[in-house]
Amino acid sequence: MSDSITISAASFAIRPVSSFDEFADHSRGLLDQAAGSDLVLFPELFTLELFTIADSWQDDPVTELTRIGDYTREYRSLFISEARKRNQFIAAGSHLEYREDGYYNIAYIFGPDGEQYEHRKTHIFPAEADWSTREGDDMDVFELPFATVGFNVCYETEIPECASSLAEQGAEIILCPSYTFTEYGYWRVRHCAQARAIENQVYFAHCATGGAPGGPIPSGWTQSSILSPCDLPWTPSGVVAQAPVANTENVVTGVVDLDVLRRNRLDGAATTFQDRRRRVESYRRWPSHTTARQLG
């Protein structure tokens, strides 16, 4: 594995389009800005832009947003083709897709040699209940040629067990495609992403959907970033790279070093990756003791 990885996060702003080809051109324009990166990340449900193709989209109810699943074949074909053509791994955000028992919010990675990985979002944000999406059950890592990665899709980042499970399986980079409808939601995810990076000594790529297209499509609040633990090898803030302006479509690119991360896990000022695991048996006992005190 190469130690130095270049990551780009594309802050995609949803806008009305008239065809799938227009959506594809929109996506390619951002990929062009990420030329040379090893990994390009798109945000959560940026494919809702496809909902605007229908003439009636502004008047349709929010429950109809799952209609974008009709474009699943074209969406996957687009990013399979672009990953191969650009010789890049593309984490193509997430997409609503119908599977055996309902719709799932599925995040994908497409590779230059035809690799495909997917993750079904395991914790649905309460507002997503209107879309009748189901929850996945698995939290897996994926071995890319340059790093071990995994997904925490938006709200999953606010559930600490999701990131710690990936770190336990060897993840060094966690990909966080997100779609938050308010600035409050954005900062919940962003602050949690930074906390998860510190707790598990991993890199976090946070990529958020933007735009205010109207109709039933929620507005997005975005300022994508690439985050590290807050320790001496990096900036005090733990920000490797960040979009310079909020709520503007752009691509932010940063370089992360896995060898630095591995050394920091051993001799950093805060060796949280090791320390939060060495007393696991105590953690397992604490809930029962707390319950006993409350009942006593």
By residue count, the chain amounts to: 296
Residue from 44, 49, 158, 249 carrying the catalytic annotation: 44
Residue 118 bears catalytic tag = no
**Burial call 237-247: b when 16+ CB within 10 Å, e when fewer:** ebebbbbeeeb
Residue 154 bears catalytic tag = yes
Of the CA atoms within 13 Å of residue 78, those in its CB half-sphere come to 20
Residue 44 bears catalytic tag = yes
Report residue 178 as tokens. 């997100």
CB 105 within 8 A of CB 120: yes
- Distance between CA atoms of 271 and 292, rounded to whole angstroms? 32
- Distance between CA atoms of 169 and 164, rounded to whole angstroms? 9
Residue from 49, 82, 97, 121 carrying the catalytic annotation: 121
Angstrom CA distances, 9 to 18, 159, 294, stand at 25, 22, 46
CB 134 within 8 A of CB 105: no
Neighbours of 274 (CB within 10 A): 11
Residue from 82, 118, 154, 176 carrying the catalytic annotation: 154
Catalytic residues: 44, 121, 154
